[in-house]
Amino acid sequence: MATRPSLVFLFVLLCFFLSSSSTVHSQSDEFVYNGFKHLGSNNLTLNGVSQIQNHGFIQLTNDTLRLLGHAFHSDAILFKNSTTGKVFSFSTAFAFAIVPEYEKLGGHGMAFVISPNKELKGALPSQYLGLLSPAVNGNFSNHLFAVEFDTVQDFEFNDISDNHVGIDLNSVVSNASVNASYYTDGNSTKQDLSLKSGKVIQAWIDYDSSKNELNVTLSPFSSKPSTSILSFHVDLSPYLEDYMYVGFSASTGLLSGSHYVFGWSFKMNGEAQSLDLSSLPSLPARRKNHLALISGVSISAAVLIVAGILLALFIIKKIKNMDVIEDWELDVGPHRFSYKELKKATKGFRDKELLGFGGFGRVYKGTLPNSNTQVAVKRINHESKQGLQEFVSEVASIGRLRHRNLVQLLGWCRRREDLMLVYDFMPNGSLDKYIFDEPKVVLTWEQRFKIIKGVASGLLYLHEGWEQTVIHRDIKAGNVLLDLELNGRLGDFGLAKLYEHGSNPSTTRVVGTLGYLAPELTKTGKPTTSSDVFAFGALLLEVVCGRRPIEPKALPEKLILVDWVWDRWKQGAILEVVDPRLGGEYNGAEVILVLKLGLMCSNNKPSKRPTMRQVLRYLEGEGTLPEVVAPPDEEEGKKSGDHGSEFEDFVHSYPPSSYFEKVSTWSSGDLAERDDLDAASSASPFSGRGESGWS
């Protein structure tokens, strides 16, 4: 009898132990999926276009353009120690493959994600990888961690290549990145690894909480190399919440591709199990043509069939390459190229000659066969005859512009619904890649000042020098192209508006690039020469400072470039804003002149801005600038330092890194978030240098 309490005590202790063990097990959150064939919603949550195929792998996307897919582990995982607030160590391994529609071009990538929710509501496809949108990209409140495997080089997000791995914290601008590769031969030899090869790759992501170290490792084999390709020192505690969801996200854009996950293991506070690739589901082999299908056909019948096919292909090719000219095209200028001529110039529009791609199509480098002139050929697709006529009408107007500081439209071509524009080829690409981030070549002050004067001269010609007033509406560093001698030429007239001198421009949709839009446009919707001057002011400041109009990751006082420059101006320390990459080698008087002009052009009141004729006179030293410069945000009754309405007007949900083709349309005062170049696409076929640029 004396032993009964002891037995009861042992029984209670055992129950407690089992209960505790169960709790620990549920919070250890370790799982291994060698395929996903028999998993249901209790294990995985799928959204977008993702689905589990019959062969047992997850297909996150397919070959459709601009879509996304997500696959998350259904249960939330405890990531933080409730006492210390520190994130636990974690580890994951997964086998994936990316099969782009065109292997050489890629088609955007995929990412391993840790998110506070499984829906990722509002996320966009294309370069946002289904993770975020322009409105929230970079926000600390996202609490999002991702490791991206990207197959498109997006200059807007500072991608290092079209085959890279990046670590993303609350933003799709990677905090650290490296070209995809792996170690072999005793971990001493580094081998390149193509993410878009269509072959299965295993990835390991390991976070050591004690060292605050994150490591990413890749291999095309089952065994894990002992050397990682990317190591990043970071404390994830401020970024992750207590409970988070783990999973995958992928997207397609103007180029498409399929993203697959074949197996997945995950473990908190330990190392995830590596996957045996041979035991995982595999992609079904593509069907091949078999000669056995025609083995029973007689030789004479086979010859007739082959001859008929060859004849049909010959006729189709002749019809396809035929140039059909309709009556309304006869009086259109400038020069009309034949399709055959442009096809020969671009070597059959082959991928090797591809310079970039945008909302309307692709841009190819070409050499005209008769003159050996290098050109850029933009190949555009239209769907309606009305669109064709509008296209040709714009060619007739814009094609007659002639100025040494404008990118010249040399001609055009139409073959049914296939449209092509032929431009001067600019071998040095756009200005933005020489002044932002870490350029390969740093422009000297003399080169920058010459470019500024050149663009001012070209813009004055548009406003006053041609038979009609031309409002560009999208002036920025990304639309300033540099020729062989690094002369600045204003290009991309896709958003331009023409009207007679002295007339009043009509109200229109507010389009352009966020960060360069004059505040009055959101109220009136009327583009004017003064709104162009406002954008030119932003260009002046970014060329001197080497910074974009808005730097989301900068300190609050440096967030808006014009405010920062104005503050330094008031403090008598204006030269502190000069691009440090110049190494102090610049003409101080010219720098101060350009900065002062930039502040004057950036004034919120159109009446306070100079005209382009005045701007060019000042730049040429033919006029004296006013001694006093009005505050850029001058408004009646506005307190100094109050950025409320100013920020709303000037930024208006401005996304990070606007310098490269972030075109959006505002309607009724609300920002309609759209994918890269979509708004420009709806405006005109001239718009967009493409997601990869022209050069």
Beta-sheet pairing, 409-415 with 335-336:
parallel
Strand partners, 166: 148, 177
Instruction: Please tell me which residue in 168, 206, 474, 649 is annotated as part of the active site.
Output: 474
Q: What is the spatial distance between Cα 357 and Cα 136, in angstroms, rounded to a whole number?
A: 26
> CA-to-CA distance for 594 and 529, rounded, in angstroms?
19
pTM: predicted TM-score of the whole model, two decimal places = 0.48
Phi (first) and psi of residue 116, to 5 degrees: -75, -10
Looking at residue 663, what is its pLDDT?
29
Active site residue 474: yes
Angstrom distance (rounded) from CA 659 to CA 176: 20
Note the pLDDT of residue 524.
75
What value does the mean pLDDT take over residues 30-36?
94
Q: Say if residue 396's pLDDT is above 70.
A: no
Look at residue 631 in the predicted model and tell me its pLDDT. Answer: 80
Tell me what the mean pLDDT of segment 530-540 comes to: 93
Tens of pLDDT, residues 42-52: 889 999 999 99
What pLDDT does residue 32 have? 95
Strands (E), 484-622: 488-490, 497-499, 510-513
Query: H/E element holding 13?
Result: helix 4-28
Q: Is 98 exposed, middle or buried (0-12, 13-18, 19+ CB in 10 A)?
A: buried
pLDDT digits (tens, 9 = 90+) for 47-87: 999 999 999 999 999 888 889 999 999 999 999 998 899 99
13 pLDDT higher than 60: no
Checking if the pLDDT of 544 tops 60, the result is yes
pLDDT at 143 over 80: yes
* Mean pLDDT within 426-432: 88
Return the percentage of the chain with pLDDT > 90, whole number.
41
Q: Which residues contact 207 (CB under 8 A, 6 or more apart)?
A: 87, 89, 90, 91, 213, 214, 215, 236
- Neighbour-count burial for 502-517, b at 16+ CB within 10 Å, e otherwise: eeebeeebbbbbbbbb
Q: Which pLDDT belongs to residue 152?
A: 86
Burial of 54 by CB count in 10 Å (0-12 exposed, 13-18 middle, 19+ buried)?
Answer: exposed
Residues 6+ apart with CB under 8 A from 532: 459, 462, 463, 471, 472, 473, 475, 612
580 prior amide bond cis, ω within 30: no
Residue 539, pLDDT > 70, answer: yes
Indicate the helix (H) or strand (E) that contains 344: helix 339-345
Which tens digits make up the pLDDT trace of 149-197?
A: 999 888 778 889 889 999 999 999 999 999 999 998 666 788 999 998 8
Question: Which pLDDT does position 164 carry in this prediction?
Answer: 95
User: For 340-392, how does the pLDDT look when each residue is reduced to its tens digit (9 = 90+)?
Assistant: 889 999 998 888 888 766 545 678 899 988 778 889 888 875 543 445 555 65
Average the pLDDT over each of 175-189, 226-240, 284-298, 439-453 and give the range with the smallest value.
284-298
Is pLDDT larger for residue 485 or for residue 437?
Answer: 485
The residue written with tokens 């020469």 in the block is 529
Neighbours of 170 (CB within 10 A): 21
Two structure tokens written together for 322: 């035929």
222-258: per-residue pLDDT in tens? 999 999 999 999 999 999 999 999 999 999 887 788 9
Higher local confidence (pLDDT), 629 or 263: 263
Task: Assess whether pLDDT exceeds 90 at residue 437.
Answer: no
Cα distance between residue 413 and residue 401, in whole Å: 18
pLDDT digits (tens, 9 = 90+) for 192-210: 999 988 899 999 999 999 9
Given a cut of 90, whether residue 452 has pLDDT beyond it is yes
User: Residue 295 above 80 pLDDT?
Assistant: no
Average pLDDT across the chain, whole number = 78
The C-alpha atoms of residue 671 and residue 663 are separated, in whole angstroms, by 11
Which pLDDT score is estimated for 649?
Answer: 40
Which is more confidently placed, 114 or 493?
114
Residues 6+ apart with CB under 8 A from 354: 105, 362, 363, 364, 365
Residue 298 confidence (pLDDT) above 60: no
Return the percentage of the chain with pLDDT > 70, whole number: 72
Q: Residue 245: what pLDDT?
A: 97
Cβ atoms within 10 A of the Cβ of 33, count? 22
